[in-house]
Structure 1
Amino acid sequence: MGTEVVPPGLDPKTNVDSKDVLYSPENGLSNRLYIPKTTNPGDKLPLLIYFHGGGFCIETAFSPSYHNYLNTLVAEANIIAVSVDYRRAPEHPIPASYDDSWTALKWVASHSGGNGSENWLNSHPDFGKVFFAGDSAGANIAHHMAMRIGKEKLEGFTVTGINLTHPYFWGTEPVGDEIKDLATREKIEGIWRLASPATSGCDDPWMNPLKGPDLAGLGCSRVLVCVAEKDILKHRGCYYYEKLKESGWGGEIEIMESEGENHVFHLFNPTCENAVAMLKRFASFLNQDKA
């Protein structure tokens, strides 16, 4: 699963251009950059840094579903986007994906003064309006990158918000109405142990953010959590939303639930009514602070 890739380039349906740029020569890793073709010299647009999902094991930034999704989102929101590719388990276990994602962030931030290696990033992003986002494991990564930003500032780089879509969080004890069936919970833990063989289990802070650093240290001012009614991870996303509100973090948090839908439905059925509604909500979230 998740091995198909598509090349970058101008998408005629959305009029969004893309290209792949090496950010980690030592690991042979590239980011895929997206920009609306209508962008004029001098235009400054919000910058989205996106982390793909796939349980830390499958998919890439170059997968058809992610490429199509980013083209559509960039056109809808009129933003610049950087889709991060990272090393995957089991060949490269946790924390490789987090380490690579932080390296990618540092590479992006190196353009904030206008003298980085990639002209699209030198010329067009508004580095005062940076957003992180991801789905499933990518949402997990986006959370942890925002927590790290709260501790380690990147010069010239202000993270306004994060969007966590169907976040891949878990824990040893069920929360809310989360499934309690032992066999199912052991299966979910097994997938996590595949990605992280050295883990202490599902209360590992990488997997259970409530067991990690205080959420009040989240390094952004706005959060949007998206959950799906039939997703087994829904209750964990709702729990994160409630605990972040209670943490003393000073930002604004909102939640959106897609009725009747399952995990990452928007990637499999991007033109359905609920997927379009979620895309528009995301685009609005990215543009809320525009003058």
Structure 2
Amino acid sequence: MGTEIVPPSESDPETGVGSKDVVIEPNTGVSARLYKPKHTNPDEKLPVLVYFHGGAFFVQTAFSPTYQPFLNSIASQANVIIVSVEYRRAPEHPLPIGYDDSWVAVKWVVSHSGGNGGDDWLREFADFGRVFFGGDSAGANIAHNLAIRVGSDGLDGGKLVGLVLMHPYFWGKDPTGDETTDPDTRGIIEKFWVTACPSSSGIDDPLINPVMDPKWPSIGCAKVLVVVSERDLLKYRGWFYFEELGKSEWGGEVEIMEIEGEEHVFHLENPNCDKAKDLVRKVASFIKSDQNHSTY
């Protein structure tokens, strides 16, 4: 499951977006697929979206066919350079390896600031004062946890402006909202998590239940967009994250978008449907409005 891959494209027929693959860390295999919108003026610096794919930490890759059309659309409509990260996956590489690989990729991206680094797209076109993290499902979990790391450790060479969390994979011991109380369902979700992260303290580990993290109010960006779907089992965790972050001492701006009638990561399965297009427009608008959030 989730092992099919597609090659990058010099110019996507639908959007004109170019993509290419790069190796970030040869020893571990950490790599990425980069996306660049067409008609990029060398004098115009573009924001950077560092994207983390989903798949419960077990399946899918940055090169999966489900991601190519979606990220092409984001790159085109948001006019943003995307670095889609290929991190090592559980169970062969249990967490926190995936988090650490993703942090290596982030550090590699911002190492190109000041005209440095080995990738010409990032050197020539990227604005490292406008960096975003984003992801879906487990990738949204990674994006959140790396934003926490930015808040505590900083981001030398770059500035994290915003966070895009689509159908985030969060959970917790106690149900929230109208979340299922079925012990079998909750038990399966817990087994998935502790299999991916055997060193975890359990389902209330801050890595999977962000509100348990004492660093929660120090998330290292000025704004956050949370996207949930009406028929997604994880919807209530997204709402809980939104509500608790808004009440915290963080001090940034958080907004939420709920998509009616849809299920978990529907936009990857059906990227051409109207609601998937609405999602792309919302993410693009969120990224483009970053000029008003230059400090935090």
Q: TM-score range by the shorter chain?
A: over 0.9
Quote the RMSD (CA, aligned, Å): 1.0
Q: 1:177 and 2:178 equivalent? A: yes
1:1-291 → structure 2 map (5 Å cutoff): 1-10=1-10, 11-290=12-291
Amino acid at match of 2:9: G
Amino acid at match of 1:183: D
| Partner Cα separation in structure 2 for residue 55 and residue 120 of structure 1 | 30
Secondary structure in 1 matching 2:132: strand
CA displacement at 1:182 relative to structure 2: 0.4
Amino acid at match of 2:205: D
| Partner Cα separation in structure 1 for residue 208 and residue 42 of structure 2 | 42
Secondary structure in 1 matching 2:67: helix
Q: Is the 8 A contact 1:150 1:219 kept in 2?
A: yes
Q: Is the 8 A contact 1:135 1:165 kept in 2?
A: yes
Give CA deviations for 1:85-109 in whole Å, capped at 9, x if unaligned: 1000000001010000000011001
Q: Is the 8 A contact 2:179 2:233 kept in 1?
A: yes
Secondary structure in 2 matching 1:256: strand
- Note the residue ranges of structure 2 that are not aligned, 5 or more in a row: none
TM-score (norm 2): 0.96
Q: Is the 8 A contact 1:214 1:247 kept in 2?
A: no
Deviates more, 1:34-43 or 1:280-289: 34-43
Q: Is the 8 A contact 2:30 2:105 kept in 1?
A: no
Amino acid at match of 2:48: L
Q: Is the 8 A contact 2:135 2:142 kept in 1?
A: yes
TM-score (norm 1): 0.98
| Partner Cα separation in structure 2 for residue 75 and residue 214 of structure 1 | 35
Give CA deviations for 1:111-144 in whole Å, capped at 9, x if unaligned: 0111111111011111111100000000000000
CA displacement at 1:290 relative to structure 2: 4.4
Amino acid at match of 1:7: P
CA displacement at 1:226 relative to structure 2: 0.3
| Partner Cα separation in structure 1 for residue 3 and residue 157 of structure 2 | 36
